[in-house]
Structure 1
């Protein structure tokens, strides 16, 4: 999730300033802040798939990140200009799909170009597009059709021989250690980096998201009875669990200032969000309501960036497409897998109208 903010008039931060953080406000969360000309800054956090918490509220975690004393001294008095969220397919080679087929080819982030060791992605995504463009020109000059076979020879083979592939192989298992914990993750990245990928930790491929049950994650902090009480109270109010649980275990409340720190409900009215046009079908669908009824965590609701998924009757989330920001978090945060397709979650996310952010976000 990312904010674009206008910094205070007297900010000491110069354009080009870069701040990266790790391990705050939770051990598995990463943060960033980039300063641009005219006192504009973009800042945000990454909530990774290996994060074990069932209350994956990126919005509140981002607010806690902003309030870290080191950052707050620069951000106090700032104004929120726009905000947004998206799922980033940062798994590198492990996320690489089929790169070519008849009359199509894949490039960019969703073709597995992100370097998970260096954390870079723009140059890599652009390079994949350049490689495809060169391949297309070659095929046109030879008068060959864009079949899968021809595209694999012209594009995929060219990509395999490029610096993009070389760097991707070095980084392939760099983040595997994070599946075992934050410290293991740092060790794994150091190992891959220092040995140029020759030594690395091996990933484990568990089905599902790896989210811990509430009773396990908050063991020693909340009793099963307290958790059930919170669930009942939130169900009666029709709200997610994360605020109530975080408040109960001691997270400080957010001091809303009406400028930078605003409620999740109010932020939906800020930042140039495009409203969904009427007359179209919903683009987020629950495939099997019975799975939702049996789900204890409802992580899809907790992780929803725009409060578009909210508690519904009989335990099945209700979807408000006018609030959806098209981040896609619901699909990979759903903990229930379809029995007929054990690699597909119970939420289907398709193309939809609206949901886009302002151009700067």
Structure 2
């Protein structure tokens, strides 16, 4: 069993000093020791590097410019790993640092290299501690928040469970800090508009994300078969161990039954879509229920500008996201051949490069 645990700045650090809280670090290391003894392979996704780098650089608050943030991250990341090493080593747990950017995931070779590194570390009993590589990441290659990063890491290692620790013990119908009648959502089976509406009502304080990014991360992870729990980071040992034991310790997001293979997970969440293809009901049924390739005949509209070999979203007429795939034709060509059958395509183009627009091996359906 493989488990990813994510803890954010608000749960981990002291707001005034920017330093991790010793009691939280102690509980996390105890929980990881518990998992290792249970033969569970755990991964930790953590924030906190930029906060730790502020004081050594003489900053009183988080800088706004990206270069100063990168400088703070460069100083803080080493301190963060040193602090984790001190706590984990007390329980004879070895750790390793993995820093990622979106670019590492988009590039297939780098994605596989990251996957193999995770596998090797976990096989050797070493706990990977993951953070976004803020030192080199610019806006175009940033994950944006570590909630998303934790979901992507879950897909990379084919995790069984993702535990997201936050400042509340789950998703609530209202802000529990101001409404006594607020109710915690115990189980989520489907990602409805109502579930996302609760995100704005559940206060999480501090951090880059918030409850909305956590729910979006849960949607990513559950779509590839990962069980997700959003629970309290105030007492992480109880939350982590409780989640492993199946106790009610937060909001449980149930996964979809099917598990996608490594390449399909990469296509779905590793690659950045450059456009959209809207399909009719017949094409939707063919690719979803019968595992067929997507043909031009089933395409009703094409949005965006993209080249052959790039990634696009596949959407139905109602705007529902069906999946993501690598196209064999550019948007310019597709606009000319959408809705056309094979013989018509050959007549329009003068030849037939490919029978399918997206081959089923290059198409990842949620």
Task: Please give the range of the TM-score, normalised by the shorter of the 2 chains.
Answer: under 0.3
Give the TM-score taking structure 1 as reference length.
Answer: 0.23
Higher relative contact order (CA 8 A, sep 6+): 1
Return the structure number with greater strand share. Answer: 2
Return the structure number with greater helix share. Answer: 2
